[in-house]
């Protein structure tokens, strides 16, 4: 099989794994998903070109390459490369092994975030809350100083730096692995100097002209998220011709841009951006086909905690009353091999993921 490292092809190939189960339960013709315990027996092949889906067909996993050579010989190599990325084992992200589900605790040091605005605005209180999240099972602490909720206004650079740097420094000195949630180049650089270990950018490193270069300069792993529009306007009638294909194509372009800037693919995680410029129907489509994002060859980060669509699908609960739904969706993501979960409710999510993974055979249970 050819080298999975790739350039952008004129046709976007999206392969969604179907029939997911533990490899030992499936026929020998099944293929592993991201080198993990799950395997797939079939794929939905979606080909996206010039703003439309030109093919959507289900193919048996072991028949994909022969099928492609006959049906689409001009892009058979692109399909082969995509399959290689879909099945390739993932290296550790930010020094953390991905065989176990990773929990990223949300620590918004803002007065206006949609769920926890004001809860951690004081640096001392924020550091205490972060240490409590570590004790509760968080692997990474995601510190953000600018709200990106729908309708949120931007803050000044000085204000964002003043909010995040003392918290990042305090948590890093305590031994925490800290992620900085920012879209600004100067914040990325300063956060790295304060001890941050990951950059998490909702604009996939295109929010500022210098953010891609700044992230590469830091040498840190990055999380690239898809968002349609800006926080101020993203939920005003979001529209896609085909949500999965468009989100996939965008993330593929941003991963390629990161690689071109000097950020290796193994240092990139991708986030479909649930709730960021998406309707309920868009969110559900992305969650259903989440495994397709493994075709980018990167770990998948899923951020659904307390999102508005959970309340809309339930009984319009307020954000802090959406923990059960948040956990339910996180487990759905785990069943599709998502590896990193960005959450508010760390202890509860960690317990749910641990039990789900043990029962489903996704992770070995702890010894008696």
Catalytic residue annotation:
307, 342
Backbone angles phi, psi at 18, to 5 degrees: -120, 160
Question: 76-87 vs 64-71: helix axis angle to the nearest 10?
Answer: 160
CA–CA distance, 67 with 53 (Å, rounded to integer): 18
Give burial (CB, 10 Å; 0-12/13-18/19+) of 51.
Answer: exposed
CA dihedral 26, 29, 30, 33 (to 10 degrees): 140
242 close to 278: Cβ distance less than 8 angstroms: no
3-state secondary structure of 31: strand
Determine the Cα–Cα distance for residues 248 and 246; give it in Å rounded to an integer: 5
- In angstroms, the Cα distances linking 241 to 124, 147, 163, 205, 225 are 47, 28, 39, 24, 19
Helix (H, G, I), strand (E, B) or coil at 190: helix
- CA distance between the termini of the chain: 42
> How many Å apart are CA 324 and CA 179, to the nearest integer?
25
* CA 129 – CA 142 distance, rounded (Å): 12
Helix 346-360 to helix 123-136 angle (10° resolution) is 20
């Amino acid at each position: 099989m050819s080298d999975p490292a790739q350039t952008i092809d004129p046709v976007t190939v999206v392969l969604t794994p179907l029939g997911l189960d533990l490899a030992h339960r499936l026929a020998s013709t099944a293929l592993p998903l991201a080198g993990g315990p799950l395997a797939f027996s079939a794929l939905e092949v979606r080909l996206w070109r010039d703003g439309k889906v030109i093919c959507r067909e289900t193919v048996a996993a072991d028949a994909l390459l022969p099928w492609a050579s006959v049906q689409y010989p001009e892009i058979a190599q692109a399909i082969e490369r995509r399959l290689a990325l879909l099945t390739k084992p993932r290296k550790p992200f930010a020094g953390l092994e991905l065989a176990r589900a990773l929990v990223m605790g949300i620590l918004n040091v803002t007065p206006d975030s949609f769920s926890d605005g004001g809860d951690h605005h004081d640096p001392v209180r924020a550091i205490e809350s972060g240490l409590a999240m570590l004790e509760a099972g968080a692997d990474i602490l995601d510190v953000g100083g600018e709200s990106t909720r729908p309708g949120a206004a931007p803050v000044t650079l000085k204000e964002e730096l003043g909010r995040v740097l003392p918290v990042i420094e305090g948590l890093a000195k305590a031994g925490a692995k800290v992620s900085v949630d920012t879209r600004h180049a100067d914040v990325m650089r300063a956060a790295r100097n304060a001890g941050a270990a990951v950059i998490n950018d909702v604009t996939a490193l295109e929010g500022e002209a210098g953010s891609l270069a700044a992230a590469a300069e830091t040498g840190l792993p990055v999380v690239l998220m898809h968002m349609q529009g800006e926080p101020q306007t993203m939920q005003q009638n979001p529209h896609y011709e085909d949500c999965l294909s468009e989100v996939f194509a965008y993330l593929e372009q941003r991963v390629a841009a990161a690689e071109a800037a000097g950020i290796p693919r193994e240092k990139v995680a991708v986030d479909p951006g649930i709730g960021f410029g998406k309707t309920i129907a868009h969110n559900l489509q992305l969650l259903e086909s989440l495994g397709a994002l493994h075709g980018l060859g990167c770990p998948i980060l899923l951020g659904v905690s307390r999102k508005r669509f959970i309340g809309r699908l339930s009984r319009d609960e307020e954000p802090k009353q959406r923990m059960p739904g948040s956990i339910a969706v996180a487990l759905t993501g785990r069943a599709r091999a998502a590896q990193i979960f960005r959450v508010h409710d760390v202890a509860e999510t960690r317990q749910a993921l641990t039990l789900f993974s043990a029962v489903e055979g996704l992770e070995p249970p702890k010894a008696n």
